[in-house]
Amino acid sequence: MLRHAIVSVVVRCTRHAWLTIIVAALLGVVSGVYAARHFAINTDINTLISPDLTWRQREIAFEKAFPQHLRSILVVVEAPTAELTTQATDLLWNRLEADKSHFIQVTQPGGGAFFRKNGLLFLPVAETEKVAGQLTQADPLIGQLATDPSLRGLIEVLQMGLTGVELEKITLDAMLRPLTATADTVEAVLANKPVHFSWHEMLAGDNPEANSKRKFIDIQPKLDFSALEPGKEATDAIRRAVSDLKLALVHAARNAGAPLTLAAAATAAGFLSFLPTAYRGVSELGQIAGMGMLVAYLTSITLLPALLKVLNPKGEPEPLGFAFLGPVDKFMEDHRVAIIVGVAIVSLGGLPLLYYLQFDFNPINLRNPKVESIATFLDLRKDPITGANAISVLAPNLEAAKPIEERLSKLPEVSQVRTLNFFVPADQDKKLAAIAKARNEIEPSFKPDAAQEPPTDEENVTALNEAVTNLKEAAEKHPGQGAAAAKRLSDLLGKLAASTPEVRQKAADAFLRPLKTAFADLRDLLQAHPVTLADVPNDIAELWRTADGRARVEVLPVSGPTSRTQTSLALPTATQGACRGSG
């Protein structure tokens, strides 16, 4: 019956070929006009999910409250040393902030003047006092380098350390870290290799901050969702800025009609099965592709025969297809009933296995983990403090956020909870007292009464040779790991003294260039002042509180690939009465 109907349609279309072609052409024009007026691309991934879902409604509410939080580009700046990271971040931020044609706003999370000056206030009291004490102990070093910022001044700092060893105030083993770092730098200079010396790491001791070599720039780009890549112009502008700064995609109707109908129906049914899902992007894909298959099928049995009748193309010189598969076709035709029954049995037998089928809701897993953006995100996710896995809760106001914060902080799945109040450090009096004490000791060293004249190359050589002698003597008197490091450094300084003035200048620059950044950071840290909510910069405050007073609560899960899911499951009880949205 199906075959007879298809043959009848083909016969009528070929009998009235021109009429069929004209009608098809008119339908094509009408369809094209309709598509041009009603179809448009929308590459906003936030519209892929049905807005009728409860969790999606909460996310929409959060997005409306904090649109800048979800529509931003996070630039991760990493460099071999903390000083280079700071320099690169500042240069890139200045360049991007001036580009108003591509970016609405450019900020530095955890950076900027606010954190540069008040960074020590966000440490525990004991840690702040420890850092302040270390800075005070480094005052002689600071004073010497501020007075004589040269290779001679660097050697004098080394000599001060050796003097401390002779006076038994410190041990040579205690100098192992600075001796090794200095030797590594000099060795790299002599070998004409890239040099990355860090004062920050040397003074931090054996436990430097894990994130000291990583900084962030948060960018609100101008997006065009009518384009296939709405943020392409913005990301291209970022890449250009980085590049400029040199930082680092018909058979016969009787024989083919029924199989063609079956194939088209099966394919269309497969696509149309996507329609019930709440994932709008998948649902719309099924609708478009499924209807497209039906249109293609109708065209194949109407327009195509009419065109063949009018155009009468030459036949193929050889039969199409794969002749060697002929026996397979015959076997399937002879045993079609058995094959259908077998497939039905296998399909029905596999139905119980659907119980064990898990659906991965994580869109990150749809992307190649080696792609730059995904690889960066996966790396950030390992550190819970970065907030890559953070969950955001929308509270009516800042006061209402406090009990939510308290309840969430008690959950074992949560590592930290933040609100706008996070930016008002606790125990400020004790911390400011420790910082003030360090400031009173160190500030005069930044302003020496009389800076020394820059040394000549001969004076630098003399200072190097004196250091070589003193290092060898110290190594002989104080055996141990420090002695081995001192002997290695003395050998390298001897080679540096015998080298050219240009190499010695390169060695001096390797230490003095990061010193300027380190001194600037230190001056800023010593300018800490009391912080209240009114002192929090607007670009930070607007990320945590809306103009109408609603407050954002950020929940940082414990580290782990499934930590976000576990924390999400624990949220409902702790956040009763609050509107939640994932960030």
pLDDT digits (tens, 9 = 90+) for 416-438: 899 999 999 999 999 999 999 99
Locate 497 and state its tokens: 């003294």
Domain ranges of the chain: 1-39+250-311, 69-147+192-247, 324-374
Beta strands in 208-335 (DSSP E): 214-221
* Count of other CB atoms within 10 angstroms of residue 257: 22
For position 155, what pLDDT does the model report?
Answer: 92
Q: Above 70 in pLDDT, residue 554?
A: yes
Mean pLDDT of the chain: 79
- Round to the nearest angstrom and report the end-to-end CA distance of the chain: 57
Q: Which amino acid is at 436?
A: A
DSSP assignment of 383-416 equals: SGGG-TT-EEEEESSHHHHHHHHHHHHT-TTEEE
DSSP state of 260: H
Q: In this predicted model, which residue has the larger pLDDT, 518 or 283?
A: 518
pLDDT at res. 388: 72
Instruction: Determine phi and psi for 394, rounding to 5 degrees.
Output: -100, 115
Helix, strand or coil for residue 428? helix
Amino acid at 543: L
Q: How confident is the model at residue 291 (pLDDT cuts 50, 70, 90)?
A: confident
CB count in 10 Å sphere of residue 332:
11
Query: What integer pLDDT is reported at residue 355 of this predicted model?
Result: 82
Tokens encoding 248 = 């680092």
370-408, pLDDT tens digit by residue? 777 777 777 777 766 676 778 888 889 999 999 988 888
Confidence of residue 580 (pLDDT cuts 50, 70, 90): very low
Measuring CA to CA, how many Å separate 289 from each of 24, 262, 268, 302, 416?
A: 20, 16, 7, 20, 46
Record the tokens describing residue 204, joined without a space.
Answer: 């931090």
pLDDT band per the 50, 70, 90 thresholds, residue 265: low
DSSP-assigned beta bridge partners for residue 553 = 393
Percentage with pLDDT > 90 across the chain: 19
pLDDT at position 185 is 92
Lowest-pLDDT choice from 57-71, 133-147, 334-348, 452-466: 57-71
551-557 and 414-418: which strand pairing?
A: antiparallel
Between 435 and 258, the more confident residue is 435
Reported as a pLDDT band with limits 50, 70 and 90, residue 280 is low
Q: Which residue has the tokens 């296995």?
A: 353
Query: Could you tell me which of 189, 182, 190 has the C-alpha nearest to residue 154?
Result: 182
Q: Tell me, what's the pLDDT at 169?
A: 86
Rounded distance between C-alpha atoms, residue 148 and residue 454, angstroms = 7
What span, in angstroms and rounded, lies between the C-alpha atoms of 248 and 89? 12
Joined together, the tokens standing for residue 456 give 């000549």
Q: Can you give the pTM of this predicted structure?
A: 0.64
The encoded tokens of residue 449 equal 């009464």
Q: What is the pLDDT of residue 469?
A: 93
- Computed on alpha carbons and rounded to an integer, the radius of gyration of the chain in Å comes to 36
| 3-state DSSP helix/strand/coil % of the chain, to nearest 5 | 65, 5, 30
Phi then psi for residue 355, to 5 deg, are -60, -30
Predicted confidence (pLDDT) per residue in 38-58, tens digit = 776 666 666 666 777 777 788
Residue for token digits 């029954």?
341
Are 309 and 17 contacting, i.e. CB atoms less than 8 angstroms apart? Answer: yes
